[in-house]
Each structure stands twice: as structure tokens, then as C-alpha cells.
Amino acid sequence: MSSMNKEAIVLKSDGAGRVQTPVARQVELVREFERSGFQLRVSPS
């Protein structure tokens, strides 16, 4: 993951302990995934 920067990001969590990822970081993660060439596979249920 060479595109990761070395800045610390403080992530908030709710009362149940779930992490809330900022929208800008969500967009960045999707773009990184798209550049990676991986394909999402969904198995039939």
C-alpha cells in the first residue's frame, strides 16, 4: 500500500464501538480499490 500516507487520522466511534470513517476517506478507499485491479466477487446465497 504505497499510497498510504504517514499522517495519523483520528476516527470517531459510536456508543456500540463502531468506527465512523469520514466521507473523504471512504472516497479515497474506493479509489485505491479501483486502482488496485481487484474484483469484488459475491457468492450466491
Cell of 14: 459510536
- Of residues 41 and 3, which shows the higher confidence score? 41
Tell me, what's the pLDDT at 39? 83
Cell of 12: 470517531
Judge contact between 36 and 7, C-beta under 8 A.
no
Task: Summarize pLDDT for 1-40 with one digit per residue, the tens.
Answer: 445 567 787 888 889 999 988 899 899 999 999 999 888 8
Nearest to 24 by CA among 14, 32, 13: 32
Tell me, what's the pLDDT at 28? 92
Tell me, what's the pLDDT at 1? 45
- Each domain of the chain, given as residue ranges in start order, spans 10-36
**What's this model's pTM, rounded to 2 decimal places?**
0.54
Neighbours of 21 (CB within 10 A): 13
C-alpha to C-alpha distances, 5 to 8, 13, 26, 29, 39, nearest whole angstrom: 9, 22, 15, 12, 24
